[in-house]
Amino acid sequence: MRKHEGIVRYASLITIGITSGLFITLPFMSLPFSSCTKTSHIESHALHQNIEEVCHTGAKENKWQYIVIHHSATEKGSATAFDNYHRNKRGWENGLAYHFVIGNGTYSRDGEIEPSDRWERQIHGAHAGNMEYNRVSIGICLVGDFENDGAPTQHQFESTAKLVQYLSRKYSIPMSKIIMHKQVARKCTACPGKNFPFEELKTRLLQVASKKDKHTREL
C-alpha cells in the first residue's frame, strides 16, 4: 500500500512537472501567421456545441433576410486568424468580415462554429461584395479552398447544416434566400468553390424540415 502510494505521488509529480513545463514552453512555440508551414491538425474530439449558445447575442437582433455561404479560399484558418487579417491587413475597423467561421481542424477544431464580433453586435458583414446584401445577410465562411483543393470535411458539412438550419428557422429565412456567395447579384466569384456540396446541403435542410413537421404533426 505504501509503495503504491509512493508510485502514485511520484507519477503525480511527473504529471505536474510536464504540465507546467508545457505552459511555460507554449507561449514561445506560437509562430506568426505567415510563417506557419505544415501544422499538425488540431484533434477533433466529438464536437458538441450547443447551437443556441453559439448563436446567442446580447444585442438587438438584426432583421436578417439572407444566409450567404463562403469558403476562405485558404488551406488553413480560424476566426482569430481571419479577424487579424481583415483588421490589420485590410484595415477594416470591424474586423472579421463574416458572422461565423467553421473550422477545418487547422487553427480551430474541425467543424467548430465560431461566431464573430459582428454577430455579437448584430452589425452588417463585409463579405457579400455589395452593401445591399451585407446589411441583411448572415455571412458564414468555411475554412478551406473548395475550388482548388478538396471539399468541406464531414464535420464542417454537419456544422454548416446545423447552423443554417437553426438560423433559417429563427429568422424565417426561406430556402431561396440561402445562397452561395457566387449567387449574389453582380458578384463575379467562384466562392465557395465548385466542390462545395450545395445541393447536398439543401437536401439535408429539406429532410430536417420535413422530419420536424412530421414530428410536430404527430404531437
Q: How far is the CB of 98 from Zn ion (least distance, A)?
A: 9
Nearer to Zn ion, 117 or 145 (CB): 145
Question: H or E element: which one contains 202?
Answer: helix 198-218
Contact set with Zn ion (CB under 5 A) = 70, 181, 191
Beta bridge partners of residue 70, listed in sequence order: 141
Nearer to Zn ion, 70 or 76 (CB): 70
Q: How far is the CB of 133 from Zn ion (least distance, A)?
A: 11
Q: How far is the CB of 127 from Zn ion (least distance, A)?
A: 6
Strand 66-71 with 178-180, pairing: parallel
Q: How many CB atoms lie within 10 A of CB 163?
A: 22
Give the residue among 124, 128, 22, 31 at the shortest CA–CA distance from 76: 31
Nearer to Zn ion, 132 or 213 (CB): 132
Nearer to Zn ion, 22 or 160 (CB): 160
Cα 98 to Cα 174: distance, rounded to the nearest angstrom: 20
Q: How far is the CB of 38 from Zn ion (least distance, A)?
A: 25
Beta bridge partners of residue 158, listed in sequence order: none
